[in-house]
Amino acid sequence: MLEKIIQIKNVGRFRNYGASGDVTFRKLTLIYAENGRGKTTLCAVLRSLQNGQPELIAERKTLAATEPAFVHIRLNGTDYKFTNDAWIQQYPDIIIFDPLFISDNVYSGNYVEHEHKKNLYRIVVGDQGVQLAKQIEEFDGKIRDANTDLRTKKESVSRNLPSGVNFEDYLAWLPVENIDIQIQRKTEELSKRQTVALKAGDIKSKSVFQKVQLPDVPPEFTAILSKQLTDITADAEAKVRKQIARHQMGHQGESWLSKGMGFIKDDRCPFCGQDVTSNDLLAAYRSHFNEAYRTLKDEVAQLGERINSAIGESALFAVQQIISGNQSLAEFWKQFITIDLPDISMSTVQEIYVSLRESCLTIAARKKNSPAEMVATDETFSSALAGVATLKQSVVQYNEAVEKLNVLIGEQKAAAQREGDLTVLKNELSRLQARKRRFDPDVMRVCQAYRDAVTAKDNLEQRKLSIRQELDLHCQTILQSYENSINDFLDQFNAGFRITNTRHLYTGGTPSSHYKIEINNTAVELGDARTQSGTPCFKTTLSSGDRRALALAFFLAVLEKDRDIARKIVVLDDPFTSLDRFRRTCTQQMIQRLSESARQVIILSHDPLFLKLIVDECPSANTDIKALQMSKAGDTTVIGEWDVHAEVQSSYMKDFATLLGFYRERRGDLRAVARTIRPFLEGMLRSHFPGHFQQNDWLGEFLGKIRMADATSGLQHAKTDLSELEAINGYSKKYHHQQNANADTEPVNDDELHGYVKRTLRLVGGC
């Protein structure tokens, strides 16, 4: 239990406070203080003692103070000191309801933000839930870090990712067998294709290889050799030969004689003119030089020419031209294709054909000498012909190679017509190279690091899911229980609303509470600063007093569920305001019940009547109660004993004295004087019109009743001063928190205040 605040130095209004007199706290301790005397500062000190946060005191260090802040509090016989900007030890069993609790956990201004829901959630779910929620938040942090790590590792992998390849597909690639060989082949293919692209014009215009066609012996050669004339007698033949020999005609003899036979006219010799009718020699000539014989002689005579034409030099020259042309083409085409063309030796060709030609001419000469007889070929001819046959086999192989090469050349010509092949080949080569790089040690390492990071993140998310399921199970009934408790307290406060749809969410990945306001059986979303104007929400449906009641209901529900409440010191700073005076009694009753269950209850209030109500309703025999007051002494706030009964009984006269002293001598604190006007007028009206105003009414409600009074009401007499009362109330309410959140900083003009004090005192004949 908090026993005594021994000393506070250089903290807010407590410039130099030291305990004096009987200021020992009791189980129920009431502390009266006007606004601005240090209630909020005292709550900040106790909260700092509870959570160990030194900044709660540091931010309230007395302005212009040169010495450090110092606090000395005694709890349960142990001294707790704040010195050197830190507590020597903490005391965690303190729970505080004050504006900071509200703004941290329930609402701030007009809004319930996500942070409020998160903080309230931590309070509601208890230690076990908080621990689980904390683990979820820790896992969220680890998952965020894992995602950052994952993005970094993914970027490392992506630096090697080929264009157009899916990331996951890239990771799944397997090594390609003989990748280096494939790359080499594709590189060579691309190089050739690039050469093709550069020389596309030449490729399109360049001719293909020509096949070689070897010449043949004239087809009629053997037929002419085989021809013979059976109607030419051997005697005639002999006579002709003898005559040619006798006259030494040589090889021209037959021709000369044959032509001469054509000049015989009228059986007379064209040379000597003699009659040749009975000339035996002439008969032999006619038999020898008949038409068939002449035809055969002509064929035999032409045979040599045909041989030279068919297998002579001109025919071989054509072959040589083709072979030479192909060799020249090979030099060009070998840039693009592999040239595998058998060699044909032209000298060998010529040698074989010279032998064949000479053999044929020799045989033809024999035929010419004996045209009427069949002439057979000899061994030399057969040998030469066999040489040609062998040569032709080589030519067949040569021409087959030409056909294959021409197919490849056709492909090159077709490729020269296409423009997209280079891009395709480059892409194919790039993919092969990328597949090879995929299994470089450095790339394999970053890929594996990414896989490991994915596994680590998945493990974190799985563990988070497991804890989340555990938290869901834990919260399944506890939140509904809190909703019931809060609504019970709201019923006791006679609130016109309740909460509904209480549940926990994972907005942003971390758990938080969620609920709706229900008014007239209609659920309304809480909304926030981003809620569209004109939408019903917390801001528009709850009054300031209702919001305060909701906050207190949350706080009391937390205490009701606290299993360790018997160990806790509960501090309440102004648990209700004058705007909700009708809740005064039920609040007093809740505090009384709380004082029975908690280790200690400390109430701070600026309302002496409320504190008196607590004292009056607490059975004195069973209650360990102490009333204290925070007041100004020089330049510091001090804590002293307080006579609650005397304070309440003489408040009207004390207020009168304060106003009169300022009116006559300009004496007193301006803000305190301004705040005295309203309670003084309330006391005056209660005295003049007893029974017309409730204990919980305040001046604005007094004036409303006067305004509505009919002719039979005793308040009819107060209507004479109604306009003046309203004017004075309009001025004084600026200095009260209930009407003005900035009441502590609202400027106070000395002369203006003096005028309103004068008008106030005139109402009672005081000036």
Please state whether the predicted TM-score (pTM) of the whole model is above 0.85.
no
282: amino acid identity, one letter? L
Q: Residue 413's CB: how many other CB atoms inside 10 A? A: 18
Residue 668 backbone dihedrals phi, psi, to 5 degrees: 115, 165
SS3 string of 663-711? Answer: HHHCCCCHHHHHHHHHHHHHHHHHHHCCCCCCCCCCHHHHHHHHHHCCC
- pLDDT (tens digit per residue) in 373-418: 788 889 999 999 999 999 999 999 999 999 999 999 998 888 777 7
Banded model confidence at residue 127, pLDDT cuts 50, 70, 90: low
The pLDDT of residue 75 is 97
Asked if residues 375 and 367 have their Cβ atoms less than 8 Å apart, the reply is yes
- How many C-beta neighbours within 10 Å does residue 115 have? 13
| Contact of 71 with 82, CB cutoff 8 Å | yes
pLDDT digits (tens, 9 = 90+) for 4-62: 999 999 999 999 999 999 999 999 999 999 888 899 999 999 999 999 999 999 999 99
Q: Give the pair of three-digit tokens for residue 85.
A: 């900007």
Which two three-digit tokens encode residue 691?
Answer: 């029974």
Please compute, for residue 162, the number of CA atoms within 13 A of its CA located in the half-sphere on the CB side: 19
Residue 73 bridge partners (DSSP): 5, 80
Separation between Cα atoms, residue 363 and residue 357, nearest integer Å: 10
| Least trusted range by pLDDT, from 315-324, 467-476, 724-733 | 467-476
d(CA 549, CA 555): 10
- C-alpha distances (whole Å) from 163 to each of 25, 27, 187, 538, 664 are 77, 76, 19, 53, 91
Give the C-alpha separation, 75 to 14, whole Å: 20
Beta bridge partners of 275: 268
Element (H, E) at 468: helix 441-492
Each residue's pLDDT tens digit, 502-521? 877 777 666 777 778 888 88
Angle at 701 (CA atoms; ends 695, 707), nearest 5 degrees? 130
Cα three-residue angle 613-614-617, rounded to 5 degrees: 80
Residue 52 gets the label, from left (phi > 0), alpha (psi -120 to 50) or beta, of left
By the 10 Å C-beta count (0-12 exposed, 13-18 middle, 19+ buried), 475 is classed as buried
